[in-house]
Amino acid sequence: MIIDILTLFPEMFDGPFSHSILKRAQLKGHVIINLHNIRDWSVNKHKTVDDYPYGGGAGMVMMVEPVVRCIEELQSKTAYDEVIYLSPDGELLNQKITNHLSTFNNLLILCGHYKGIDERIRTHFITREISIGDYVLSGGELAAMILTDAIVRIIPGVLNDETSALSDSFQDNMLSPPVYTRPYDFRGLTVPDVLLSGNDKEIVKWKYEQSVERTKARRPGMMGERREG
């Protein structure tokens, strides 16, 4: 998979993309992540990428020309399955979306900034808009990191144990069951005996029951979605 990210602040990605699972995924060749500074496509010597909004109002707006020049140049070299804009009013990110996106070959992600991007970009060049939650960030960079991590970790071969991603919360519209590790007894707090029983059938049953109980208590709406599916 190739993920091209358009941003005004590529240096923000250095830490998250240089460690842990994302680093290993790149080293193994499962994903190529390219960062592109939108200012490189600005048409003036000052590398201007924003201007005042027509009609007045506070804040600045990312200009259509440098963003579109960047998108079109990249599209001339790569056929993208989706051109994604990260926006608070996009569709709310969930596991179903990340599962779907992880099956693609090429993604382009645009990080907005300031008061947003010129609407003509959204109307004519963006194929999908995604939000990571009903709140506003200073820019789309953090959201792009979250989206990229959520996609990459479930690409086959990225995790050492590929079944690990399949047991994550939300994969079956269920929350994951509780997990434990050593020591067995910590200050009188012990691990459920069934997990040490060696009885695989009973362990699977316990985990399922715990998932159902936790989902009903914390995300009851998910159970309805599971039945409908």
Q: How much is the pLDDT for 71?
A: 98
* pLDDT at residue 223 in the model: 74
> For the chain, what is the mean pLDDT?
92
DSSP 137: -
* CATH code for position 120: 3.40.1280.10
Could you read off the pLDDT of 208-226 as tens digits, one per residue? Answer: 999 999 999 998 988 766 5
Does any domain span residue 162? no
Q: What is the mean pLDDT of each run of 10 residues along the chain (229 residues)?
A: 98 94 95 98 91 93 97 98 96 95 97 94 98 94 97 91 52 84 94 96 95 92 62
Residues 177 and 73 grouped into a single domain: no
Distance CA 228, CA 222 (A): 10
End-of-domain residue from the set 110, 128, 152: 152
Is 81 inside any structural domain?
yes
82 forms beta bridges with 107
Residue 217 and residue 118 share a domain: no
Q: Would residue 75 count as lying in a domain?
A: yes
Q: CB neighbours of 125 closer than 8 A, spacing ≥ 6?
A: 67, 68, 71, 83
Q: How many domains does the chain have?
A: 2
Each residue of 137-155: pLDDT tens digit?
999 999 999 999 999 999 9
Domain range for 141 is 2-152
Q: Which residues contact 31 (CB under 8 A, 6 or more apart)?
A: 1, 2, 3, 22, 25, 152, 155, 158
Q: Looking at residue 228, what is its pLDDT?
A: 46
In this structure, what DSSP letter does residue 106 have? E
Q: Is residue 158 part of a domain?
A: no
Phi, psi at 77, each rounded to 5°: -110, -25
Please state, in angstroms and rounded to a whole number, the distance separating the CA atoms of residues 226 and 155: 23
Same domain, 178 and 148: no
Question: What ranges in 76-218 are assigned the alpha helix state H?
Answer: 95-101, 119-124, 141-152, 163-166, 200-218
Whether 99 and 206 map to the same domain: the answer is no
Residues 6+ apart with CB under 8 A from 154: 98, 99, 102, 165
Whether residues 146 and 215 share a domain: the answer is: no
